[in-house]
Structure 1
């Protein structure tokens, strides 16, 4: 359904026309440049943030369009005292263990004490909520290479005090738990306690997921699959249990196996063009099959 009041801004820009607020129909118009890739940040109080990467056309006056979904953010919980640390969790298995004196103001770096608000918002990658999956289904490996990814579950970890965002101080580590909504690999193998999955955090500047090691699979009856991924992290953001994969696409070639099969160069050229169209990459769309990892389709 249309969502009004969403602030949409071009990352890294502050000039006129680079940000706007959606109207009653959920529409917005921006001026963002020509022939470049931009990242849009979408935000609205009470909803999870979203980032979308958009490739703009190379001709002045041309239009580019996008669609994005936001989901309601989970109700905040209160951690009694940041100086003491503590443990918070949800009924679906999402959770965080914060060590003492680990939080700072994200803008100033000042140490934080007293009560803080914490929201843990998971995304069910096997339900309609997958439309609110943030960023692209694309990850960056440790060697800088990129890969399409499949998601087993992702959660937003947000800490604040008096409306000001908080972060872990440099060198501090917190333990997080991500509920898993898929229990099978793409190949059909079942996930099991004691296994591991790659751990990814969202880079909101590029709308890509960055690999940050691995997390361990542990049992948790509260999770929809009975499994959560547990890991230590050095900052709070969106965190994701994902795996990279190599997409399968047939690669037809234009080869005339039978000499004299075509009566003219025109006929062979027509066939070559048809095969080239079949070989064009298919745009990815967020989707998932029940019980399997959420992934771009096809």
Structure 2
């Protein structure tokens, strides 16, 4: 009896009992409620295959799918003081930073990289919403400024993927000071005669839309992205009116002239490459076979 109890039963339990399933194995479509297999979503650039809903995508995944062959070089970013205001709410700011750095393997909310799209060299900056809502603090501000300086240094176009909930409250006025700093940096790119293209992703709100995110030569938005400064509820309470359906969404903003185009994530790379080749007057790739020359007469 002891042999059965102590050996056989545990073996059967381990073979037939419940197993741990990763929490993110299935992801719910926020629009239809459909459960989508994690690997299928990842293979489709985090766009739900059936509904076309654009889910949030990590900065490294964005760069890997955007650059030719997934090849890019990250730009070293300046270090900034950690927790200069000694901020604390429900937990210490330094503890929050450690938590998000562990979750995302990023130092802060922005990555800057160099690489090529359709053989055209560019500099790209990507905000990752997974890091404290992509909030704009001193580190993120330094990253945007560095991206602009690198674009001027290498004489390359700058492409920025914006995705943020706004300024980082834990850094107070130091966070708000990044708005004019990044604005000046963008102007330096334009003064150098270089294109600056902004891709507005879901969501792009708050102080980010009051600075570098709305200063592009061309503004492209992903489908269904929430874009605005203040939230819809705050606006309704201020003006005491009901806002139109779809207010602050990409398609509504394009219809009203705030966004130049709405582009599916799968088509972003090709669209941006074509725009940059026009703006930089780069020669188009001619893949058509050359016409054979007429044969000369025999001497």
Both proteins in one fold, TM over 0.5:
no
Higher-strand-fraction structure: 1
Query: Of the two structures, which has the highest relative contact order with CA contacts closer than 8 Å and spacing of 6 or more?
Result: 1
TM-score by length of 2: 0.31
TM-score by length of 1: 0.31
Higher-helix-fraction structure: 2
